[in-house]
Amino acid sequence: MYFKRIYISLYLILIRTECYLEIVIMYEQIKEKLTAHGLKVTMQRVAVYEALLTTKEHPSAEMIIDIVSAKYPGISTGTIYKTLETLVEKDLVRKIKNDGDKMRYDAHTDRHHHIYLENSDKIMDYYDDDLNKLLEDYFKNKSIPHVQIQDMKLEIIAKYI
């Protein structure tokens, strides 16, 4: 029984240590990204960017406010809105619209497309290198007068079945 308690205690310490290390690693990654994009590292920026990176959704500003306020109640709503806009301006985050023209945020700025589920508010990321190549090849061969394609992102409307 004594060894079982020691084992459980060590296991809990290990879990806490792993969680602590994950937090430290994430903080360092956020700090690096902010500075690489010319931003000063502030608690508010770290808190908002962390909320965006850790959610599995494409959150609205209101969702981010709820997440940040729960963890850091001292950060004002206005500061969160301003921080979101700064992150968008610096290309750390992208704004995307859902069907109802409500703005959402996407912290994953690598090349991907979005699937909008009609029967829910959900937006899913969709990665497909073959599709990217197909789109690139298509527009290389098509001439659109006075237009230079910079990037392509599909908005795919679907129903979840």
In the chain, what are the domains? 1-109 (1.10.10.10), 110-161 (3.30.1490)
Query: Of residues 142 and 49, which shows the higher confidence score?
Result: 49
Given a cut of 90, whether residue 155 has pLDDT beyond it is no
Whether the pLDDT of residue 38 is over 90: the answer is: yes
Q: Quote the pLDDT of residue 14.
A: 45
Output the pLDDT for position 68: 94
For residue 17, what pLDDT is reported? 55
Work out the mean pLDDT of the chain and round it to a whole number.
83
The least confident of 27-41, 76-90, 107-121 is 107-121
Banded model confidence at residue 48, pLDDT cuts 50, 70, 90: very high
Other CB atoms within 10 A of residue 62 CB: 11
Share of residues in the chain with pLDDT > 90 (%): 42
DSSP string, 12-71: HHHHHHHHHHHHHHHHHHHHHHHHHTT----HHHHHHHHHHHH-SS---HHHHHHHHHHH
Helix (H) or strand (E) holding 139: helix 129-141
Given this model, what pLDDT does residue 20 score?
53
Q: Is the predicted pLDDT of residue 13 greater than 50, yes or no?
A: no
Return d(Cα 93, Cα 17) in angstroms, integer: 30
Q: Which residue has the higher pLDDT, 19 or 161?
A: 161
